[in-house]
Amino acid sequence: MTELHSLDDRLLADVNGFARHTPWLHGVVLGHATYGVVLFAVLLVAGVLRSRAGANRTLAAAGWACLATLIAVGINQPVGGMFAEARPYTTHPQLLVLASRSSDFSFPSDHAVMAGAAAAGLWLVSHRLGAVATVAALVMAFARVYIAAHYPWDVVGGLLLGAAVSLLGWALLHGLLITVTGWLRRQPGVRQAFPAPASSPEPVVGREARAA
């Protein structure tokens, strides 16, 4: 465990050294580290809109991606309290700190949990959205270390926790979620906003064959 902490400290120092030598990046990275949650919200909404007239499975996956992201962040609160890890700037006063100081625990990173859950959930909806969200999640994880808000292990653990909630939850609940989605789409008001895909027309050859 001591070796892992030493590696974590070295990686933090390397990233912080990079931050000291790239002042021109501070505004962009801090902006993504702080407000990147808006990008993930946009991607999740895009997943729902893209799936609104698709198969029940795809729409259920899009809805689950949104729900799983909220659940993952909620689960992270007691997990963080259990580990009770201090923020890096409290134990490393020499760091260049761009983050707003917080009294929250450092491990796992809430932002990384959110990003990991959203990215993994969006892979179930669309490979394109999943790929974009994965890149955004990795940038978010790096940004949180860059601004000295977290240790590298905090963001790695956060990404893994978030992805696990999305993927394991889908594996366990996808049957129920698809069934509920199909039922909701038949309800007045909902079916106009999320129309079921049109059934494929019966082949003409089949009808002629039966008539014969």
- Asked which of 5-14, 90-99, 164-173, 197-206 is least confident by mean pLDDT, the reply is 197-206
**pLDDT tens track for 8-43:** 888 899 999 999 999 999 999 999 998 999 999 999
For the chain, what's the residue count? 212
Please, which pLDDT band fits residue 200 given cuts at 50, 70 and 90?
very low
Over 60: is that where the pLDDT of 203 sits? no
Most confident of 11-15, 52-56, 97-101, 121-125: 121-125
**pLDDT tens track for 60-108:** 999 999 999 999 999 998 988 888 788 888 888 888 888 888 778 888 8
Following DSSP, what letter does each residue of the chain receive, concatenated?
-HHHHHHHHHHHHHHHHHHHT-GGGHHHHHHHHHHHHHHHHHHHHHHHHHHTTS-HHHHHHHHHHHHHHHHHHHHHHHHHHHH-PPPHHHH-TTS---SPP--S--SS-HHHHHHHHHHHHHHTT-HHHHHHHHHHHHHHHHHHHHTTSS-HHHHHHHHHHHHHHHHHHHHHHHHHHHHHHHHHTTSTTHHHHSPPPPPPPPPHHHHHHHH-
Q: How far apart are CA 127 and CA 133, in angstroms?
A: 10
Look up residue 175 and give its two tokens: 């049957």
pLDDT for the residue 102: 78
Look up residue 96 and give its two tokens: 């260049």
Please, which pLDDT band fits residue 155 given cuts at 50, 70 and 90?
very high
Over 70: is that where the pLDDT of 202 sits? no
Tell me if the pTM is above 0.75.
Answer: yes
Q: What is the mean pLDDT of residues 121-125?
A: 96
Over 80: is that where the pLDDT of 199 sits? no
pLDDT for the residue 1: 56
Please, which pLDDT band fits residue 6 given cuts at 50, 70 and 90?
confident
Quick check: bond before 188 cis, omega within 30?
no
Q: What is the mean pLDDT of residues 126-139?
A: 96
Neighbours of 55 (CB within 10 A): 14
Long-range contacts from 12-18, C-beta under 8 angstroms, 24+ separation? 12/88, 12/92, 12/95, 12/145, 12/148, 12/151, 12/152, 15/142, 15/145, 15/146, 15/152, 16/95, 16/96, 16/146, 16/148, 18/146
- Asked which of 30-34, 96-100, 128-132, 200-204 is least confident by mean pLDDT, the reply is 200-204
| Percent of the chain residues past pLDDT 70, beyond the cut | 92
Nearest 5°: phi and psi at 48?
A: -65, -45
pLDDT for the residue 105: 83
